[in-house]
Amino acid sequence: DDKTCDVVVVGSGGAGLAAAIEAHDKGASVVIIEKMPIAGGNTNKASAGMNAAETLFQQQAGITDHKEWFYNETLKGGKNKNNPELLHYFVEHAPAAINWLDAKGIRLNNLTTTGGMSVDRTHRPNNGAAVGGFLISGLLKNINERGIELMLDTSVTDIELKDGRINAVIVNDEDGNEQRISTKAIIVATGGFGANAQMVTHYRPDLANFVTTNHKGATGSGIALLQKIGAGTVDMNEIQIHPTVEQKTAYLISESIRGGGAILVSRHGKRFVNELDTRDKVSNSIIALTDHYAYILFDEQIRQENKAADTYIGKGLAVQADSLVGLAEKLDINPETLSNTVERYNRFVEQQHDEDFGRTTGMRHPLNQPSFYAIPIAPGIHHTMGGVTINTNTEVLDTNAQVIKGAYAAGEVAGGVHGGNRIGGNAIADIIIFGIQAGDQAAAYAKDL
């Protein structure tokens, strides 16, 4: 054999890196395999934050929250399709996962909200950075400090079983050579299949013409590898379209911009939805507009508070003007209509009551600080809620719901937590919570073997 270890982690997104760190700290020898030339996967692109209820950071910020609210709002957002056991585990272990990160120098103590959540429970870095890059660089620092091996440009192409247990993986390394790595356990953390158009349209023909926000590596290969050794799948046709995607670049405009106070207006300059309703509802309301696109509109204060806004402006995605009238002219919207829309919204902010669409969150300040910005957006494929079946130990279950010994899966590759619609900020929570659990469980399994 080319190598031997206790645990092979497949994929170096948030789930894989968290799992690798935890398995190492529980005494296992770990190798991480990543098919792309860089680490981080789709997690690198995550922008909103990490949801958790009843955390120390919420307490410090004077925010009252309850795990029960988090559970119920996630279940409602997921159209009651979420796996109850997985969701309970998720909600229960979220605060510990925030602390786990904090202990590793990854502090998420700045709070905002996302669609479908009633209070500020989306934890972000306090320097205004997007959560994904911040998380991956912090996790990689921990990987390096521990000397955990990370093989880049290397794909897992096969998983080997012996006597019903995981025995080895076959990889194709950076030089194109096949290698065999003997291992007691594997943690599959290969992410979703949002960049695999063929697979997406297989399950959802109606999504054939949508752009994708996903990185190239999100091909669902981990699902196929696990299916080959008998894994079951769940909710494969539950594919999320994210409402605010710039269509020419497929660049996602973070939900934290709306959480910070931005509104959506139609091509005719009118609001048409509670901007912080769940992603499925906001997406559908944009698709229902006659022109199937809208603008996300924000002011200078929101730009100052969120680095992502600067990134979009820097990339030339935003139309910018010193006044709302100027902005309307550039967008070819009736200036009076746009001014009226914003004035009316600003009044709702003052009274903290949205008479038109019942928005209750992210109404932080009136939109009145020039400059004003608008980015044209429409929905794009964003997250695959379905995936392989796991239990709360992250053990992979076969099509008869029996554990495949030594096989663990965590993150977007696994199905069940999010049901029929994922809440913004719940993917980062998912990958860290279940990544830690997979690391723990795989290390314990390898030790006992």
- Residues forming the active site: 279
Helix (H, G, I), strand (E, B) or coil at 426: helix
What character string, x for contact with ligand ADP (CB under 6 A) and - otherwise, covers 166-205? Answer: -----------------------xxx--------------
- Phi and psi torsions of 306, nearest 5°: -140, 110
- The interface with ligand ADP within residues 427-446 (CB under 6 A) comprises 431
C-beta of 315: minimal distance to ligand ADP in Å?
22
Tell me the two tokens of residue 327: 């902005």
The rounded distance, in Å, linking the Cα atoms of 55 and 53 is 6
Number of amino acids touching ligand ADP (CB under 6 A):
27
Among the listed residues 20, 28, 36, 159, the single contact to ligand ADP using CB under 6 A: 36
**CB 340, min distance to ligand ADP, A:** 42
Q: What does the DSSP assignment read for 286-341?
A: HHTSTTS-EEEEEEHHHHHH-HHHHHHHHTT--EEESSHHHHHHHHT--HHHHHHH
User: Which range in 99-107, 137-145, 374-382, 405-413 contacts ligand ADP by CB under 6 A?
Assistant: 405-413
Q: For residues 444 and 408, is the Cβ–Cβ distance under 8 A?
A: no
Tell me which residue has its CB nearest to ligand ADP: 13
Q: Could you say which DSSP state residue 207 is in?
A: G
Nearer to ligand ADP, 54 or 255 (CB): 255
State yes or no: residue 156 binds ligand ADP (CB under 6 A).
Answer: yes
Give the whole-angstrom CA distance, residue 156 versus residue 194. Answer: 19
Q: Toward ligand ADP, which CB reaches closer, 44 or 306?
A: 44
Structure tokens at 111: 């709070």
* Number of other residues whose CB lies within 10 A of the CB of residue 127: 9
Contact code string over 218-247 relative to ligand ADP, x by CB under 6 A: x--xx-------------------------
Does position 11 interact with ligand ADP (CB under 6 A)? The reply is yes
* Number of C-beta neighbours around residue 352 at 10 A: 9
Is the Cβ–Cβ distance between 21 and 139 less than 8 Å?
A: yes
Asked if residue 5 lies in contact with residue 183, where contact means CB atoms within 8 angstroms, the answer is yes
Q: Is 22 in the site for ligand ADP (CB under 6 A)?
A: no
Candidate list 9, 23, 43, 283; residue touching ligand ADP; CB under 6 A: 43
Considering only the stretches 264-272, 285-293, 357-365, 406-414, report the one whose residues sit in contact with ligand ADP under the rule CB under 6 A: 406-414
Interface with ligand ADP, residue 33, by CB under 6 A:
yes
Q: How far is the CB of 174 from ligand ADP (least distance, A)?
A: 12
CB of 384 to ligand ADP, least distance (A): 10
Q: Count of alpha carbons within 13 Å of 149, Cβ hemisphere only?
A: 14
Bridge partners of residue 185, in order along the sequence? 7
Residue 34 binds ligand ADP, judged by CB under 6 A = yes
415 binds ligand ADP (CB under 6 A): no
**Contact between residue 390 and residue 414 where contact means Cβ atoms under 8 Å apart:** yes
Rule CB under 6 A: say whether 14 interacts with ligand ADP.
Answer: yes
Does position 42 interact with ligand ADP (CB under 6 A)? The reply is yes
d(CA 254, CA 274): 16
Question: Binding segment for ligand ADP among 39-47, 107-115, 233-241, 329-337 (CB under 6 A)?
Answer: 39-47
- Comparing CB distances to ligand ADP, the nearer of 33 and 253 is 33
CB 192 within 8 A of CB 220: yes
Q: Which residues bind ligand ADP (CB under 6 A)?
A: 10-16, 33-36, 41-43, 155-156, 189-191, 217-218, 221-222, 411-413, 431
